[in-house]
Structures are given as structure tokens and as C-alpha cells.
Structure 1
Amino acid sequence: MTFTSVMDDNDELLMLYDGPTTILEGRDIASVAKYMKSPQCKQVFVILGAGVSTAAGIPDFRSPRTRLYAMLAKLNLPYPRAVFELNYFRFHPTPFYTLARELYPGRYRPTLTHTFVKLLSDRNLLHTCFTQNIDTLERQAGIPAEKLVEANGSFASQRCIDCKKEYDSARMREAIEKGEIVVCDKESCGGLVKPDIVFFGESMPEFLSQSIPKIGSADLLFVIGTSLTVQPFAKLASMAPESCPRVLINLDFAGDIGTRADDVLLLGRCDTIVRDLCRELGWEETLDSEWAKTEIAGSASLAASALPPERAYRTKALMDAVVPHEQVEMGSTSNGTSTPTAAGWQDKLDAVDSLSERLRVALECSEKVVPLLEEAAITFPARTLSSEEILFASGAVDDLPSLEEPPHIVTPPVIVLEGKS
């Protein structure tokens, strides 16, 4: 066996297999498409990460000019991951509700990559789609729920953190849009309600552990928009059988993909690469028509930008001629190919899979970037605390900008909870 050494964007030495393939004819898009058309390819598994939703315009905490970044900076969190900690949420729900308003379903449109996974399902090729994302764009794209494993939960449902009673979705959406914190409508409960997103301090969904072993039956694995650094996803791709070709579509290397004979590395923008693959498959017209059905009025989607005049990704052959860490503009590499530009700490976020880690990176670097733009004050109210809670709660939420109106809580008709002015 022969290997080629390559330096990734984190200055880590990778040993990529450079010998002959055993199943695919080559390590390029044409070979992947040909294999997908063959009778040998019956069960396709997909792993999706945060990079898939970037083209949808979902805030990734990278830019200090975004409204979301400005809001998070005002929340005065004790530490970044607190916004996703159950104990912190119990005493200080305002920071998470502030974040939820920006990420709630309906504000963003699925990308071409989401639509591609839906096409795999339509053609009875998709077995399971594992996603680390909580934005529900997979559901909005039309991927069947029975083929979807949302490892970190999602905004698709919500329930009380105490009695676990599910809360009505329409009422939850209305409350979040109004900036109201929701409490359980079960009599004598009154616990806080949150979306079914897995917080620190909560167990991973049981169905996740039941679904992971199924990847051992994969005929083809796509790993898209993730660096495979967060468990259990970090080991998921390695669980695919040796006979299963693995295709990485991402801005940078991920996991151990590239060390097997039939690993394919397609480094670049997800939507651009997916479009080229669909063109090779003869699916491009269907891809466009299905994606058009996901249009949302006023959508912030950037997915239409995935129609560049030239290729914007790197294959293994192209990477051999690209100097590691070379900061170049799109389409300006020395060999005529295109690579994504790199710009300091912001590039590191492309390799981050979880919202909390993205937030950590952004806030750690907040002193190195330009000042925040002036934004209108966010008027999310804090929950009124009991005397017992006050003894244990920190004052982080009290440092939020002052509210124009007294805070209040959404309550059932028989319960009246008054906030502090």
C-alpha cells in the first residue's frame, strides 16, 4: 500500500491512501456517480454537519456584523456553552430564547445539499441520514422522518423540562416570535418549556444508539459538511465496512476519510459539489425543481450562490498541486483550480460541528475583530425567580439591556405569574 502525506488546515499530518481503488473506478465525481448507478449500490448512508446549512444563511457566529453575534455578545454568558446547559437554562432561559428566535424553523430555506439527500430517498437509495444539525432543514427538504436521525434533537417539537409534557408547536412559535418565555400548561407544574434539543446535562436520544450499528450495512457513505470531531459522529464514518466507498464533501479533511482504498475527497462548497454530482447522475434538472419547491417568502437562503461559473472544490489530484495554507481568492490557484479562501480565526468555524463550539470560538476571538454594530435592544424577558432560585442563580441575565416593558411569561389561563419591572 502507498500513502501520501498531506498537512490539513490545523497543521496536522495526514496519511492519505494513494494506491489503486478496489470498488470505484477512480476517486472523482464521475466514478462516484457510476457506482451509484450500479446494482451494487443499494443502501446509502449520509452524515450531515453544520457546513451543510451554511448556504442557507443560518448564522454561524463567525461575523461580528451579524445580528445574532451582536445579540449573543450582549448576553454576558458566564461561559459560551452555558447557553446550551440545562441547569443554566433552568435559572436563565433568556439567552437560549434569544438564540432560538434567530434559529427557529421557517426563517431559513433548505439548501441544494438537503435536496440532494431527499433525491436519494426518492430513488430508494437512502437508508439513513444522520444529522448533527438542529435547524430541521432536513425535514423541510422532505427527507422522511423514518430515515432521519437527529442526533442533537431539533426545533421540531418541545416539552416541559420538568414533567416532560409536550407543548403545542403553534403556541411555541408564537411565543418565541413575541419574545415570551414559555412555561408548562399542565396544572400545578409551571416548568419551563424548551425545544427538544439535546442540552449539556441531558442524555443523547436512545434511538441514536440504536441507529448507529446500522451503518455497518452501508454500500456507500456520504460525509457532508462536518469535520467528524464530536462524538458519536467522530467514530461513525469508521464504522462503515471496508467494502463501502466513503465520499467526503467538506471544506477540509475529516476523520480518517482518505485512508482507505475507496475513499473520495471532494473539498469545497457542499452545494457546488452536489450540483456537479447530480449533473453526472443526470439529476440536475430534478435537483433544481425539487429545490424550487422549498422556496420561503423572505428567506435568507444563500443556496442560489451555488451556481459558480467554475468549479469551487478540490479533488485529491488537485490538492497535490496546492500549497497548504495558501490564502488565495476563489479561482486564483496556481494550477487554475479554485479553493475556498481562508481568513484567520473565521475559517476555524468551518471545522466546528456544534452550535456551542461555534459560539465558543466566536466569543474567544471577539476582542480581535471589529466593534459590534449598533443594534436595537433585544426585549426578551427573564423569568421571575423564586426566593430559593435566587440563592443559587448567578446574575448573568440581570446584565442584559434594560427592557422597555415589564417582562412577562406565557402561562395557562388559570395561572398568573407576574414578572419584575
Structure 2
Amino acid sequence: YRSPGTGLYANLKKYNIPYPEAIFDIKFFTCDPRPFFLLAKELYPGKHKPNYVHYFVRMLHEKGLLLRMYTQNIDSLETRLLHPADYANVTKLRHTRRSFGAATRIFGILAAKSFLFTNNSTDVHTNESKTRLRKEIMSGKIPRCKICLGTVKPDVVFFGEELPERFFLHSKDFAKADLLIVMGTSLQIEPFGSIINTVRPTVPRLLLNKDHVGPFKREALKKTDVVELGDLTESVKKLVSMLGWHDELKELMEN
């Protein structure tokens, strides 16, 4: 999001918004949803493919080493690497901003998951067609509920909205972790900025990132902290090579 020159926020001028974060601000969205849906057209699932880093996370899962993955990404690429049988245990993946994998109606209408829509009085309005929503977004339209005409938005947690309840189970996760890997993040947004400090004192923390961030900015790192700066994909490839997983990961990506 925040990488200078290449991050999402550095490339939002064309959307004519007052400040970069406004595109994910619920108050701004309520007033003018058009910029968000222009961006949604570019980010909608299916337009992009999982990369090497996504497959590395999948490899951790395959080997039974992944306790949990926390992500702020909204492109759903991580979930594309889960086999259908894994969706019963989708808690393996925790989104703080959720993703385009579900949708919500606003302006007085609150929604459930998987494109099932419910209003605040719990009366079910209708099941919105995922195909219709995608078609409208990709054609540049603002999707509307056919019943109440409220704006439909992907189930993304905007600034100004509460985090999903399942996120707050993190305290149990971090107490169980034997290793914490932090990748591709600025750690500027809470609760990410602080939750990485909740692992046990003896647990190693590995930062694979373009820059020093958060507690890794300290001149004197903890003995259990390791930092590898540079291109994220290249850093992960280096780690995979050290683990002796190169051929396995290559096969996973090909299959």
C-alpha cells in the first residue's frame, strides 16, 4: 500500500480523491463510492494471479507449519491457493480488511458473507448474484441492491469500521507461535503495528521487507529478530533455497 512510487497509495491520483487513504474510508465511500469501484475494477479477483510469495505461504500450509496468516490484502489471492476442502478451516487465514470474496449493502443495510444480504432488522432481502456484481463493477457501474437500491460493496473493512470479530482471536495465535514471519508491510496501521510484539519473548521474528519497519527499526535488534531487506520475492526465494524446498515449491506452482 505505502511503498513510495510503486505502492497502491502512490498511484491513486487518477481517482480524484482528497488523500490516498480516502479510497478506503467508509465516510468518503458513503458520500462518493465511485473512486472505490474504479479501483475495485482493477483489483477484482481473477484479474491477478498468485505469485511466488503466495505459493510459499501455501507450502507452509502443506507442511503443517502454518498456524495462521494475517493479511490486509483485499485481492483474495491467498484464498485462491486453498483447496476446496480447506474452506472448512478457513480460519487458517485471517483478513483484517476482508476481501472481495463477500459483499455488503450499506446505507442502512448490513450484510452477511458470500453475497447473502440481510438488513438491520434481520429480514432477508435477497441473494445478490456474484456474476451480476462482477459484471456491474467491471463495466464501471456502481452496484445497487435490486430491492432497496442501497450501494453494494465488497466485504472489505474500511477505515472507520470495526475489525471482524474473528481477528481478535489473535492473542491465542501469537501465544502458540514458534516463529513469526513478517512480510511486505509498513506496520503503520494498527493493530498490525503492535500485535507482532505479543509473541513470546523467546520466539524468533523474521522480517522480509523492503525497509525496516515497526520494532525492526531499532538500532539494537532483539537477539531473536532477523531482518532481510530487499525485493520480497527474492528474499523468499533465498529462504526457500535455505530450507531445501526449491523443487517442491516449483512443483506446487506448476500443478
Q: TM-score range by the shorter chain?
A: 0.7 to 0.9
The alignment's TM-score, normalised by the length of structure 2, stands at: 0.82
Q: Is the 8 A contact 2:2 2:9 kept in 1?
A: no
* Deviation for aligned residue 1:239: 0.6
Provide structure 1 residue ranges, at least 5 long, that are not aligned to the other structure. 1-48, 52-57, 63-68, 294-421
Equivalent of residue 278 in structure 1, options 235, 240, 243 = 240
For residues 162-201 of structure 1, what are the structure 2 equivalents within 5 Å? Answer: 162-165=108-111, 166=116, 167-185=128-146, 187=147, 189-201=148-160
Could you say if the C-alpha distance between residues 59 and 102 of structure 1 is closer, same or farther in structure 2, counting changes exceeding 3 Å? farther
Provide structure 2 residue ranges, at least 5 long, that are not aligned to the other structure. 117-127
Matched, 1:216 2:175: yes
Q: Which residue of 2 aligns with 1:365?
A: none
Q: Which structure has the higher relative contact order (CA within 8 Å, separation 6+)?
A: 1
Q: Is the 8 A contact 1:84 1:96 kept in 2?
A: yes
Equivalent of residue 148 in structure 1, options 64, 80, 93 = 93
Q: Which moved more, 1:189-198 or 1:74-83?
A: 74-83
Q: Is the 8 A contact 2:58 2:82 kept in 1?
A: yes
Q: Is the 8 A contact 2:104 2:152 kept in 1?
A: yes
Give the Cα–Cα distance (whole angstroms) in 2 for the partners of residues 251 and 59 of structure 1: 12
The alignment's TM-score, normalised by the length of structure 1, stands at: 0.51
Could you say if the C-alpha distance between residues 78 and 247 of structure 1 is closer, same or farther in structure 2, counting changes exceeding 3 Å? closer
Q: Is the 8 A contact 1:50 1:225 kept in 2?
A: no
Paired letter, 2:98: G
Give the Cα–Cα distance (whole angstroms) in 2 for the partners of residues 260 and 75 of structure 1: 42
Q: Is the 8 A contact 2:9 2:20 kept in 1?
A: no
Give the Cα–Cα distance (whole angstroms) in 1 for the partners of residues 14 and 8 of structure 2: 17
* Deviation for aligned residue 1:216: 1.4
Give the Cα–Cα distance (whole angstroms) in 1 for the partners of residues 215 and 13 of structure 2: 36
Give the Cα–Cα distance (whole angstroms) in 2 for the partners of residues 212 and 155 of structure 1: 26
Q: Which is richer in helix? A: 2
Q: Which residue of 1 aligns with 2:32?
A: 92
* Deviation for aligned residue 1:50: 7.4
For residues 59-74 of structure 1, what are the structure 2 equivalents within 5 Å? Answer: 60-62=8-10, 69=11, 72-74=12-14
Could you say if the C-alpha distance between residues 75 and 276 of structure 1 is closer, same or farther in structure 2, counting changes exceeding 3 Å? closer
Q: Which moved more, 1:172-181 or 1:80-89?
A: 80-89
Matched, 1:106 2:46: yes
RMSD (Å), alpha carbons: 2.3
Give the Cα–Cα distance (whole angstroms) in 1 for the partners of residues 239 and 23 of structure 2: 38
Paired letter, 1:163: I
Q: Which residue of 2 aligns with 1:262?
A: 224
Give the Cα–Cα distance (whole angstroms) in 1 for the partners of residues 150 and 250 of structure 2: 45
* Deviation for aligned residue 1:116: 0.6
For residues 315-326 of structure 1, what are the structure 2 equivalents within 5 Å? Answer: none
Query: Which structure is larger by alpha-carbon Rg, 1 or 2?
Result: 1
Give the Cα–Cα distance (whole angstroms) in 1 for the partners of residues 247 and 179 of structure 2: 23
* Deviation for aligned residue 1:229: 1.9
Aligned length: 230
* Deviation for aligned residue 1:86: 2.0
Paired letter, 1:141: L
Q: Is the 8 A contact 1:249 1:267 kept in 2?
A: yes
Equivalent of residue 74 in structure 2, options 131, 134, 137 = 134
Give the Cα–Cα distance (whole angstroms) in 2 for the partners of residues 168 and 115 of structure 1: 30
SS of equivalent residue, structure 2 residue 18: coil
Give the Cα–Cα distance (whole angstroms) in 2 for the partners of residues 75 and 213 of structure 1: 40
For residues 22-101 of structure 1, what are the structure 2 equivalents within 5 Å? Answer: 60-62=8-10, 69=11, 72-101=12-41
Q: Is the 8 A contact 2:27 2:160 kept in 1?
A: yes
Give the Cα–Cα distance (whole angstroms) in 2 for the partners of residues 97 and 266 of structure 1: 36
Q: Is the 8 A contact 2:96 2:164 kept in 1?
A: yes
Matched, 1:237 2:183: no
Q: Is the 8 A contact 1:215 1:239 kept in 2?
A: yes
Equivalent of residue 253 in structure 2, options 285, 291, 295 = 291
Q: Is the 8 A contact 1:104 1:135 kept in 2?
A: yes
Could you say if the C-alpha distance between residues 150 and 223 of structure 1 is closer, same or farther in structure 2, counting changes exceeding 3 Å? same
Q: Is the 8 A contact 2:180 2:203 kept in 1?
A: yes
Give the Cα–Cα distance (whole angstroms) in 1 for the partners of residues 194 and 174 of structure 2: 11
